[in-house]
Amino acid sequence: MATDISAITGAIQTGTSQTNASSQTLSADMNTFLTLLTTQLKYQDPLDPMDTAEFTNQLVQYSSVEQAIQTNEKLNNLLTLTVSNLGAQAISYIGKTAQVLGDVMPLNGGKAKATYTLSKDVVSTTITVKDMNGKVVYTETGLTTAGTHDFVWNGKDMDGNQLEDGAYQIVVSPKVASGETSATVTTTIFGKVTGVASDSSGVYIGLGDFVTAGLGDILTMRDDNYFDNIDTGGDSSGDDETPDAGDPSEGGEVPGDGDTGSEEEIA
């Protein structure tokens, strides 16, 4: 996936053009106002001159609008700098592995990883993997204790057939005892950052060639070899429960077993 930040400059240009248009409109209105004002002064009745207070009030109103436009221009400049900094920061993530909030994980080279966090102990947990057409391709039993757990998948369906690389959804369904309140589930997914793009809504990163994520959804960044060292052999979920892991919904770290690379937590 190619690195693309052209949309960032496009959003900036849109905001700048809107501010310039507002300034041009104000300038035209001010010229019209001055023309009317001088004409009124020229033809006013000497015995009943123009109200000085009203004249001053009109000038003050136009001055206030002009100051507001200038303030918008300065805020637009700050926005430009902020978006540029975000884009530059995101570019530095290319080649690293990102952990982001979400339930659509990229399968690349027969490797996919996610985590799921249970808010409480449950009776049973079912993990289902679906393709982007909603078809169930894999299912297994998950862990039942409260906290964060790893899910590692080798990309094979229930019959052992290797599926094509692509985007797959992980659905975690916990079951609680009768009479208890339901448990909530938060999922995160891992993927190697392969590109950067943006639109009017924000800056995005590409995970593999199939999944995108918003910059604000990133929880952690890891070295580029982290994803390559994922062990997908045997039981894809294993019993690799992450001890003392923070709740990913609150931006906590979720280190996985066998993590040989350094980790950078994103604020």
For 177-195, b where at least 16 C-beta lie within 10 A, e where not — what string?
A: eeeeeebebbbbbbbbbbb
Q: How far apart are CA 232 and CA 223, in angstroms?
A: 19
Q: Is the pLDDT of residue 215 over 50?
A: yes
Phi and psi torsions of 228, nearest 5°: -65, -25
Residue ranges of domains in the chain: 6-91, 97-257
Domain 97-257: give its CATH code: 2.60.40.4070
Mean pLDDT for 234-243 is: 45
User: Which helix (H) or strand (E) element contains residue 137?
Assistant: strand 136-141
Averaged pLDDT, 208-218: 88
What pLDDT score was predicted for residue 244?
Answer: 41
Q: Which residue has the tokens 């221009």?
A: 73
- Per-residue confidence (pLDDT) for residue 167, from 0 to 100: 95
Least confidently predicted of 106-120, 201-215, 223-237: 223-237
CB atoms within 10 A of CB 40: 11
Q: How confident is the model at residue 191 (pLDDT cuts 50, 70, 90)?
A: very high
The 3-state DSSP class for residue 261 equals: coil
pLDDT value of residue 197: 82
Please provide the DSSP assignment of 192-260 as one string.
EEEEEEEETTEEEEEETTTEEEEGGGEEEEE-TTTGGG---SSSSSTT-B-TTPPPGGGT-----TT--
Query: Residue 227 contacts by C-beta under 8 Å, 6 or more apart in sequence?
Result: 97, 108, 111, 113, 190, 191, 192
Q: How far apart are CA 151 and CA 149, in angstroms?
A: 7
pLDDT value of position 267: 44
